[in-house]
Amino acid sequence: MKPAERLEVPDTGRLNAALCAALDRLDPQVVIESGTYLGTGTTRALLRALGARRPRRFVTIEVSASLLRQARTNLADAPWIECVWGMSVRREEAIEFVKNDPFLRELDPNIDIFVDFLPDPAAGYLAELQGGLGGESSSDAPDGLLEQLLPLHAEDRPLVALDSAGGVGYLEFRETVRLLGENPYGLFLDDINHVKHYRSKLHIEADPAFTVVDTSWDEGWMVALANLR
């Protein structure tokens, strides 16, 4: 276990190639992202890979109103991206998840992943959720947005990018798998070498419904397709 360092996904040619390959195979009509931050990391990587392609919708969700304002400015060249204020999952469910997550309570020191708030990550992630994620005003943010958006677009071959808070990454992943079921979809995960998506990565590698397009442990990302043979 080691303290987490970076927020933005690294901008590399290998990630761009993986996203382009996934877009070619999936041909998504919709892109849905959780964890916009400044709009300059995963959102920009997706935009670059899309190139001239224009999905019907590109929704990016950010719980912090002030970060979302900055992201809108940073994404002014792509005004068709819907920057939505809110929480991906239900707040109460996220709190229960972090409170009861055995992985956080009994951290295995032999697993070489990044974790925030050491030595008590569960307390830190809980305080984050209870104290208003991302700063001011986020405790009033609408929640459960994946639950609204994913069923609406389940048949649109959605590409789903998950990169929000460390404590709820795996909950977001499980929600995505549950809500999209057997429909074809793509996943772009950032922070697979972090508590955020380490278990999501293990799930994808073990589940025959998924095909990994490419993944980089050092860069921390995975691009995969589900239910596409």
Ligand X SMILES: C[S@@+](CC[C@H](N)C(=O)[O-])C[C@H]1O[C@@H](n2cnc3c(N)ncnc32)[C@H](O)[C@@H]1O
Angle between helices 13-26 and 42-50 (to 10 degrees): 60
Neighbouring residues of 147: CB distance < 8 A, sequence distance ≥ 6: 89, 90, 175, 179
CB 33, min distance to ligand X, A: 7
Residue in the shown chain whose Cβ atom is closest to ligand X: 41
Q: Tell me whether residue 120 or residue 136 sits nearer to ligand X (CB atom).
A: 136
CB 192, min distance to ligand X, A: 13
CB 136, min distance to ligand X, A: 11
CB 187, min distance to ligand X, A: 14
Structure tokens at 86: 């809110």
The DSSP symbol for 201 reads: H
Distance CA 63, CA 70 (A): 13
CB 14, min distance to ligand X, A: 16
Binding site for ligand X (CB under 6 A): 7-9, 34-35, 37, 40-42, 61-64, 67, 87-89, 133-134, 163-165, 168, 190
Q: Tell me whether residue 33 or residue 156 sits nearer to ligand X (CB atom).
A: 33
Q: Tell me whether residue 64 or residue 184 sits nearer to ligand X (CB atom).
A: 64
Q: How many CB atoms lie within 10 A of CB 74?
A: 17
CB 52, min distance to ligand X, A: 23
Q: Tell me whether residue 61 or residue 75 sits nearer to ligand X (CB atom).
A: 61
Q: Tell me whether residue 7 or residue 118 sits nearer to ligand X (CB atom).
A: 7
Q: Are 126 and 205 in contact (CB under 8 A)?
A: no
Q: Where do we find the tokens 């389940």? A: 154
Nearest to 4, CA basis, from 169, 200, 166: 166
Neighbouring residues of 148: CB distance < 8 A, sequence distance ≥ 6: none
Segment (H or E) for 115:
strand 114-115
> Helix or strand or coil: residue 214?
strand
CB 165, min distance to ligand X, A: 4
Q: Tell me whether residue 38 or residue 209 sits nearer to ligand X (CB atom).
A: 38
Distance CA 167, CA 98 (A): 6
Q: Tell me whether residue 138 or residue 184 sits nearer to ligand X (CB atom).
A: 138
Segment (H or E) for 40:
none
